[in-house]
Structure 1
């Protein structure tokens, strides 16, 4: 079941239900699928980017990364079950992959982030099979030879789960353009999760995460990169939700 937030259909599952669906599909070596993890900024981007909306429409799972989506869903009287934070999902899936023998590949992140995340995860889960990491150069999406090289690396490694940390909407668009060719059972866009796991970017204390204030912590830590997202984006998102709640604007 999916619920509508500002025209975007979000899956109504618990965190564990999402994990189980992804793991079961990966273990079954099912047909290639991908998972998207929207937050409030994704919702805003989806209002004006038709291709991005179509990518979301075809996703295997659309799971709420941002706490703001849970607040919005409750306000709209169609509550979601759980937050499915991208970093938590990444770490949980890697832990289960180590137990189940699933192979994973880490694509993207800042230079060194995926490799450092690999070392951290391998220290925690010695049986984890990370079959490749790669950080594409800036502007790679406009370089046909680089795009072909990336696909060759991933196909040669033959992972069961591909984690892509390129930021939205770049990661989702790259996945949509390539997932069928790659034939990886599950691809997931996870933003800055490599950096967070590698301790290159500090994550908010647990109490701030639970209070829905992780966005504020990230704004304090990286103000120059994130001020536009939160200072300008959050009020716009709230305004869209208000218009949906009171029927001023219909979102299909």
Structure 2
């Protein structure tokens, strides 16, 4: 599949593309016309941290065609390293953007993840917003299904029978990426988005922070306020210190490159930071 012409930067153990959200939609639409599929990872600080510590997760992410910066610290790290990452591209936003692209292209969508009734509600919201969008199906796999080979196979089989063009998988990292790996083998012409909490957000289960808060890189505080018990440990103990290390590593990379007087080829490898 032709690569996007944008540069990319290695943040931790993850190669992040410098691309706008609209560019992702354009790329997916063009791939559909060529009957080519692919997968998208929305790399936030938590995902970058996990991949940097566990090589098998970095390898799992590397299987995807597109890895976008879902998190302002990831955007800032790329910019500090000298790669112009233009904006944050979140899974919750891509749910809508890609559904809109699917509607324009006459494609179908399948929503996988969330509590019972939630993907159905999200599907109604998307179909109402984008006339012509075909909903191929929805599913709410029970907790722990991924540990049961039979339940996993049944989940995969339901998606395959629906033959969707776009599959939104909201199960959290790395569960959703592992399931996407299985689905891609059966549906090579479909596109897959690991969207985390994007499905319940689309369903209106909880709201995102305001645009100003998002641009400030403080949406994590909004999420923390909504789900303190679930997110406090992850955000405060694990992700926040790692984010500072990412930014520090990016700045050191920039200074080394400036001192050496060579910027490198940003269109291929980019800068390696935060490891």
**Global fold match (TM > 0.5):** yes
* 1:167-206 Cα shifts (integer Å, max 9, x gaps): 1111112212331123342111000011111111221122
Counterparts of 1:27 and 1:103, CA distance in 2: 14
Task: For residue 27 of structure 1, report the CA deviation from its aligned partner.
Answer: 3.2
Distance in 1, matches of 2:245 and 2:26, equals 35
Matched position secondary structure for 2:69? coil
Q: Does 2:13 match 1:11?
A: no
Asked if 1 retains the 8 angstrom alpha-carbon contact of 2:99 and 2:133, the reply is yes
- Aligned partners of 1:23 and 1:236: how far apart in 2? 35
Confirm or deny that 1:25 pairs with 2:31: yes
| Residue matched to 2:166 | 161
Unpaired segments of 5 or more residues in structure 1? none
Assess if the C-alpha contact under 8 Å between 2:249 and 2:274 holds in 1.
no
Cα distance in 1 for residues equivalent to 2:73 and 2:246: 12
2:241 pairs with 1:235: yes
Tell me by how many angstroms 1:251 deviates.
6.1
Contact preservation (8 Å) 2:76, 2:247: no
Aligned partners of 2:273, 2:94: CA distance in 1, in Å? Answer: 32
Q: Secondary structure at the match of 1:105?
A: strand
- Partners of 1:196 and 1:203 within 8 A in 2: yes
SS of 1:37 mapped into structure 2: strand
Q: Aligned ranges for residues 93-172 of structure 1 at < 5 Å?
A: 93-172=98-177
The gaps in structure 2 that reach 5 residues or longer are 1-6, 257-271
Report deviation, 1:77: 2.6
Cα pair distance change 1:41/1:157, threshold 3 Å:
same
Task: Provide the residue aligned with 2:251 in structure 1.
Answer: 245
Q: In the alignment, is the contact (CA less than 8 A) between 2:11 and 2:78 conserved in 1?
A: yes
In structure 2, how many angstroms separate the alpha carbons of the residues matched to 1:111 and 1:22? 29
Is it true that 1:193 corresponds to 2:181 in the alignment?
no
| C-alpha displacement of 1:29 | 2.0
CA RMSD of aligned residues (A): 2.0
Checking the alignment, whether the CA contact within 8 Å between 2:156 and 2:182 is kept in structure 1 is: no
Aligned partner of 1:205 in structure 2 is: 210
Q: Distance in 2 between matches of 1:238 and 1:203?
A: 24
